Amino acid sequence: MTKQQQVVVVGGGVIGLLTAFNLATQGLTVVVLDRSSVGQESSWAGGGIVSPLYPWRYSPAVTALAHWSQDFYPQLAQRLFAATGVDPEVHTTGLYWLDLDDEADALAWAAREGRPLSKVDVSSARDAVPVLGAGFAEAIYMANVANVRNPRLIKSLKAALLALPGVTLHEQCAVQGFIQEGGSIVGVNTAQGEVRGDQVVLAAGAWSGELLASLGLTLPVEPVKGQMILYKCASDFLSCMVLAKGRYAIPRRDGHILIGSTLEHEGFDKTPTESALDSLKASAVELIPALADAEVVGHWAGLRPGSPEGIPYIGKVPGYEGLWLNCGHYRNGLVLAPASCQLFADLLLGHEPVIDPAPYAPTGRI
């Protein structure tokens, strides 16, 4: 496509913002629309582990995106920090998985994929993480796993995007439907009026399925609620991420500790609940008993864009010229964003794709 064309990106989470950033840095004119403030949904609510929680349980399609993104994240963070002065804090701590039922599968996956994950004696985990609970018997460890401080990533991305020429950002601007002329999508309708573009990208997270339904298309992306809690401890309290029984503890550089998360099918209701708070506190204390004496300084819920097998939709919508998808990342939007958005830009611009796009193509999946 030519550089004079305008791309409308529907959704201002990490996927929408990074999609827009990649296109704008190639000289395209980009308009980003968000129903609220950018990055305030699952991009803000998540934990930011730069790995699927259990990477060996995912398909090769998710693995390919995850590996590319994990390798790319440090340079993305450095680029954004240099451009904006806002550090996304990609913090490499390593990750211990404790008492896995499928440890053998994890080790076989690591050997097959060439990832530095290995079995360790649980005593070495306790040496590395002295605050770890006593109730664990087995451990595996991957040293190079990082976490990104997602609210700062969003802030940095927004600032970097707005510093580029040809970028317009409209917040509090809910998209109500698509403008269709002939067989093509030529823009969107919003409460503030029409926004037209030569290409329209749907990157609206948990809301993507609802929006595509306005065209009579069934996109199996639905909201999946997740709740988290936050503690504030000393900066050296927890040195490493730990994960057991589906719950995790993530240390930030300043001593904040995130504990997550629940998986709830409650539609678009993201009200935090007392039952989830109690459950998350219990998991926190099982992982790290000293948190029994720490104050919960935050408790929130977000809506993940649930999709079959967590495989995102990246590419053209068949039968609707000008309409593209970059959505449906489920629990791994922050993990997969760099690869997903680079792949998307390659497809839209007609460049050689960084990874095989076939598994993510909407054709045959909607």
Question: Do residues 231 and 299 both lie within one domain?
Answer: yes
Predicted confidence (pLDDT) at residue 2 exceeds the cutoff of 60: no
Question: Do residues 240 and 283 both lie within one domain?
Answer: yes
Quote the CA–CA distance of 170 and 192 in Å, as a whole number. 10
Total-model pTM: 0.96
How far CA 255 is from CA of 207, 232, 251, 258, 294, in Å, comes to 33, 6, 6, 10, 12
Question: Do residues 236 and 136 both lie within one domain?
Answer: yes
Average pLDDT over residues 153-181: 97
pLDDT of residue 255: 95
C-beta of residue 363 within 8 angstroms of C-beta of residue 16: no
> What CATH number corresponds to the domain at position 186?
3.50.50.60
Given pLDDT bands bounded at 50, 70 and 90, which one contains residue 5? confident
List b or e across 210-236, with b for residues whose CB sees 16 or more CB atoms inside 10 angstroms: ebbeebebebebbbbbbbbbbbebeee
Q: Judge whether 85 lies within some domain.
A: no
Question: Do residues 281 and 237 both lie within one domain?
Answer: yes
DSSP state, residue 81: H
Quote the CA–CA distance of 241 and 233 in Å, as a whole number. 14
Question: Do residues 102 and 11 both lie within one domain?
Answer: no
- For residue 184, cis peptide bond before it (omega within 30 degrees of 0): no
pLDDT of residue 4: 57
> What CATH number corresponds to the domain at position 234?
3.30.9.10
Average pLDDT over residues 166-188: 97
- Domain termination residue (choose one: 306, 327, 344): 306
- Domain termination residue (choose one: 285, 306, 327): 306
Predicted confidence (pLDDT) at residue 270 exceeds the cutoff of 50: yes
Question: Do residues 196 and 266 both lie within one domain?
Answer: no
| pLDDT tens figures, 306-337 | 999 999 999 999 999 999 999 999 999 999 99
Question: Do residues 99 and 138 both lie within one domain?
Answer: yes
Predicted confidence (pLDDT) at residue 68 exceeds the cutoff of 80: yes
Angle at 168 between CA 167 and CA 172, to 5 degrees: 145
Domain span including residue 276: 95-143+222-306
339 by Cβ neighbours in 10 Å (0-12 / 13-18 / 19+) ranks as buried
Question: Do residues 227 and 291 both lie within one domain?
Answer: yes
Quote the CA–CA distance of 134 and 137 in Å, as a whole number. 8
Domain count, the chain: 2
Q: Judge whether 88 lies within some domain.
A: no
Question: Do residues 161 and 235 both lie within one domain?
Answer: no
Q: At what angle do helices 333-349 and 60-84 cross, to 10 degrees?
A: 90
Work out the mean pLDDT of the chain and round it to a whole number: 96
Q: Judge whether 183 lies within some domain.
A: yes
Predicted confidence (pLDDT) at residue 93 exceeds the cutoff of 60: yes
Question: Do residues 18 and 39 both lie within one domain?
Answer: yes
- Domain termination residue (choose one: 281, 306, 331): 306
Predicted confidence (pLDDT) at residue 3 exceeds the cutoff of 50: no
Query: What proportion of the chain, given as a percentage, has pLDDT over 70?
Result: 99
Q: Judge whether 54 lies within some domain.
A: no
Q: Judge whether 1 lies within some domain.
A: no
Question: Do residues 320 and 209 both lie within one domain?
Answer: yes
C-beta of residue 45 within 8 angstroms of C-beta of residue 301: yes
DSSP codes joined into one string, 242-282: EEETTEEEEE-TTSEEEEE---B--TT-----HHHHHHHHH
Identify any residues that bridge with 223 across adjacent strands, giving them in sequence order: 305
The neighbour count for residue 304, using CB atoms within 10 Å, is: 27
pLDDT of residue 1: 36
Token pair recorded at residue 43: 């991009």
313 by Cβ neighbours in 10 Å (0-12 / 13-18 / 19+) ranks as buried
Of 244, 226, 255, the C-alpha closest to 283 is 244
Of 142, 184, 174, 204, the C-alpha closest to 328 is 204
Torsion of CA 310, 50, 259, 291, to 10 degrees: 160
Average pLDDT over residues 343-350: 98
Q: Judge whether 131 lies within some domain.
A: yes
Query: What proportion of the chain, given as a percentage, has pLDDT over 90?
Result: 98
Q: Judge whether 247 lies within some domain.
A: yes
C-beta of residue 149 within 8 angstroms of C-beta of residue 230: no
pLDDT of residue 309: 95
Question: Do residues 234 and 181 both lie within one domain?
Answer: no
Q: Judge whether 78 lies within some domain.
A: no
